[in-house]
Amino acid sequence: MLNDQPAKATALRTMGLAHMYLFFDYEKALEYSFEALKIEEGLKIKSGEATTLMTIGSIYEEVGNNTSAVDYYLKSKKINQSLNKDINVSKLNHKIGNVFKKLQQYDSAILYYDLALAYEVENDNKKGEADALHAIANVYSAKGMTSDAYHFHIRALALRREIKDKPGEALSLNYIAEIYKKTGNYIRAHKNLDVALAIWSHIK
Q: In which band, very low, low, confident or very high, does the pLDDT at 203 lie, cut at 50, 70 and 90?
A: confident
Mean pLDDT of the chain: 96
Domains and CATH numbers, the chain: 1-84 (1.25.40.10), 87-204 (1.25.40.10)
| Percent of the chain clearing pLDDT 70 (strictly above) | 98
| Gap between the Cα atoms of 58 and 77, Å rounded | 13
* Average pLDDT of span 127-149: 97
CB 64 within 8 A of CB 90: no
Per-position DSSP letters for the chain, written without gaps between them: -GGGHHHHHHHHHHHHHHHHHTS--HHHHHHHHHHHHHHHHHHT-HHHHHHHHHHHHHHHHHTT-HHHHHHHHHHHHHHHHHTT-HHHHHHHHHHHHHHHHHTT-HHHHHHHHHHHHHHHHHTT-HHHHHHHHHHHHHHHHHTT-HHHHHHHHHHHHHHHHHTT-HHHHHHHHHHHHHHHHHTT-HHHHHHHHHHHHHHHHHH-
> Has residue 1 got a pLDDT over 80?
no
**Interatomic CA distance for residues 161 and 167, integer angstroms:** 10
Task: Specify the pLDDT at position 204.
Answer: 66
More confident residue, 121 or 2: 121
pTM above 0.85, yes or no: yes
CA atoms within 13 A on the CB side of 43: 20
